[in-house]
């Protein structure tokens, strides 16, 4: 993702209190999937390189997995007369738009892409299981009531810095980043190892501005050593 004017941190020396969080690298978010993010397949190789680097140093690697029941209320199919992409919100639970059916528990679309190296992953956090509320963030539901356990997992390992990559930039990666900040982590977004949806229009620049304001930092893959 090339974004003009975004400050990129240089020379990131990794340490034992760092964790890599790989968000939702599932078939449904990749080209050919139900909610395909353009260019999503282009980041698989880079994510494998960075997760290998973390793993070789015994640094923590976490993957998140969107994992919805078929009757999930973020699916347009569960709202008669509505279609994917329609704007729709239910207080803090659902929205800002409805989605096609995706990442249904146990379906092929919910599986991690076969080219993603999952052997280096320490923990897999599933989210979006409550049919009434979405969970874009790897940390908790959209209404901020129920956590997934990710915060406790990271804190019990004394992790204080997290690096986020994966899909989609403006939804699950974004919510994971801002929740990470709210929970007190130092958050780095690996901007060339993510891709966005940009719906509704203007969403990408809106979330990038918000992340800058909230103290999320940005880095590129080649800045790690
Ligand atoms: C996501 C929309 C719906 C994501 C998940 O992974 O960014 N987006 N569910
Ligand atoms: Zn979802």
Beta bridge partners of 224: 12
Q: Is 4 a catalytic residue?
A: no
Active site residue 132: no
Q: What is the pLDDT of residue 163?
A: 98
Q: What is the pLDDT of residue 5?
A: 79
Q: How far is the CA of 130 from the centre of ligand 2 (A)?
A: 11
> Is 66 assigned a catalytic role?
no
Q: Give the model's pLDDT for residue 3.
A: 66
Question: Domain extents for the chain?
Answer: 3-68+103-223
pLDDT of residue 33: 98
Among residues 28, 41, 101, 127, the one annotated as catalytic is 127
Ligand 1 mean position to 110 CA, how many Å? 11
Q: Which of 24, 130, 170, 179 is catalytic?
A: 24
- What burial class does residue 161 get, using C-beta atoms within 10 Å of its C-beta: 0-12 exposed, 13-18 middle, 19+ buried? middle
Which residues' Cβ are closer than 6 Å to ligand 1?
24, 29, 66, 99, 136, 167-168, 171-172
For residue 159, count other CB atoms closer than 10 A to its CB.
20
Q: Atom 8, ligand 1: which residue's CA is nearest?
A: 171
Which atom, in ligand 1's list, is nearest to the CA of 169?
7
Phi and psi at residue 139, to the nearest 5°: -90, -35
User: Is 40:30 a contact under the CB 8 Å cutoff?
Assistant: yes
Q: Which CATH superfamily is domain 3-68+103-223 in?
A: Isochorismatase-like (3.40.50.850)
Q: Which atom of ligand 1 is nearest to the CA of 24?
A: 6
Q: What is the pLDDT of residue 99?
A: 97
Q: Secondary structure of the chain: what % helix, strand, coil (to 5)?
A: 25, 25, 50
Q: What is the model's pLDDT at position 2?
A: 54
pLDDT tens-place values along the chain, 225 residues long: 556 679 999 999 999 999 999 999 999 999 999 999 999 999 999 999 999 999 999 999 999 999 999 999 999 999 999 999 999 999 899 999 999 999 999 999 999 999 999 999 999 999 999 999 999 999 999 999 999 999 999 999 999 999 999 999 999 999 999 999 999 999 999 999 999 999 999 999 999 999 999 999 999 999 987
């Amino acid at each position: 993702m090339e974004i003009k004017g975004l400050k990129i941190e240089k020379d990131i020396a990794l340490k034992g209190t760092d964790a890599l969080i790989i968000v939702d690298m599932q078939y449904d978010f990749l080209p050919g999937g139900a909610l395909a993010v353009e260019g999503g397949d282009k980041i698989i190789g880079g994510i494998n390189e960075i997760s290998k680097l973390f793993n070789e140093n015994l640094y923590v690697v976490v993957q998140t997995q969107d994992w919805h029941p078929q009757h999930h209320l973020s699916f347009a199919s569960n709202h008669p007369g509505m279609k994917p992409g329609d704007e729709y919100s239910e207080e803090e639970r659902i929205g800002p738009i409805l989605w096609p059916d995706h990442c249904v528990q146990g379906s092929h679309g919910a599986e991690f892409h076969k080219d993603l190296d999952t052997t280096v992953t320490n923990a897999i956090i599933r989210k979006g299981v409550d049919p009434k509320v979405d969970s874009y963030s790897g940390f908790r539901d959209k209404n901020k009531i129920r956590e997934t356990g990710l915060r406790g997992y990271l804190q019990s390992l004394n992790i204080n810095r997290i690096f986020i990559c994966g899909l989609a930039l403006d939804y699950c990666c974004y919510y994971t980043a801002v929740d990470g900040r709210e929970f007190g982590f130092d958050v780095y977004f690996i901007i060339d190892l993510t891709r966005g949806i940009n719906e509704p229009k203007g969403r990408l620049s809106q979330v990038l501005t918000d992340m800058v304001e909230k103290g999320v930092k940005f880095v590129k893959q080649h800045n790690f050593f």
